[in-house]
Amino acid sequence: MIFFDSVSKQYPGGHEALRSLSFQVDRGEMVFLTGHSGAGKSTLLKLIPVLERPSRGQIVINGINLNRLSSRRIPYLRRRVGMIFQDHRLLHDRTVYHNVALPLVIAGVPHRDIGRRVRAALDKVSLLHRETAYPVTLSGGEQQRVGIARAVVTRPPILLADEPTGNLDPELSEEIMGLFEAFNRVGVTVLIASHDLDLIRRLGHRYLSLGDGQLTADSGRAGRGG
């Protein structure tokens, strides 16, 4: 589902954020990505929906070779990859409903289908009752759940999250991770960058560790409890 072969990323200015990185995540896996600040976790995630391009190497996502993907096809790829950020990136002048509807509007989904799909996404994160609220009136955990609803509303087979619990207390972090596990149980492939080693160990999913842009550990595809 996610395949990196000898991928390097050098930013303008010379810094090599990823160095010849190879790994694979199978369909339906849930995997954590860990490593020190600046190790390259965000860079790795950004390569998957082509928010950045690699300098070298090959990336294949859901059967699509990104080296051969024309700019015209990038929106198609992005609808297949849901992305969640630590700071939610919600639009503060739009209601919860309109924030979640936005990816469908951009994708040109018929108006009559949008309401049903937005409500289905809000239901999955237990926020149906807040659809008319504005993001500032929500707690941090609720805002993150809106971010998750927006990421899943196009029903992507892949979910990526960059420090999704970075601003949340341990209890809320577990709740958010529980949501990712629920999506994973129905077949979604999930890749989450996180600093929270205690939480990662407790959940017992496979993890990849990055150090200075290289893979330093892979707990293994069957890795549980490690």
Which of residues 42 and 154 has its CB atom nearest to ligand ATP in the complex?
42
d(CA 10, CA 18): 7
Stretch touching ligand ATP by CB under 6 A, among 10-18, 53-61, 116-124, 176-184: 10-18
Instruction: Tell me the three state secondary structure of residue 14.
Output: coil
Residues 6+ apart with CB under 8 A from 187: 27, 28, 157
d(CA 87, CA 163): 9
Which of residues 8 and 184 has its CB atom nearest to ligand ATP in the complex?
8
Which of residues 41 and 130 has its CB atom nearest to ligand ATP in the complex?
41
Q: What is the CA radius of gyration of the chain?
A: 17
Closest approach of ligand ATP to the CB of residue 6, in Å: 18
Closest approach of ligand ATP to the CB of residue 143, in Å: 19
Closest approach of ligand ATP to the CB of residue 53, in Å: 12
Closest approach of ligand ATP to the CB of residue 18, in Å: 8
d(CA 193, CA 80): 19
Residues 6+ apart with CB under 8 A from 120: none
Of residues 22-81, those binding ligand ATP (CB under 6 A): 35, 37-43
157-188 as b/e, with b when 16 or more CB fall inside 10 Å? ebbbbbbbbeebeeebbebbbebbeebbeeeb
d(CA 87, CA 73): 27
Closest approach of ligand ATP to the CB of residue 59, in Å: 15
Position 14 contacts ligand ATP (CB under 6 A): no
Position 17 contacts ligand ATP (CB under 6 A): yes
Which of residues 104 and 208 has its CB atom nearest to ligand ATP in the complex?
208
Position 164 contacts ligand ATP (CB under 6 A): no
Stretch touching ligand ATP by CB under 6 A, among 12-20, 61-69, 75-83, 128-136: 12-20
Q: How many residues bind ligand ATP (CB under 6 A)?
A: 12
Closest approach of ligand ATP to the CB of residue 17, in Å: 3
C-alpha atoms less than 13 angstroms from C-alpha of 203 in its C-beta half-sphere = 26
- Residue 74 CB burial class (10 angstroms; 0-12, 13-18, ≥19): middle
**In the complex, which residues of this chain contact ligand ATP (CB under 6 A)?**
11, 13, 15, 17, 35, 37-43
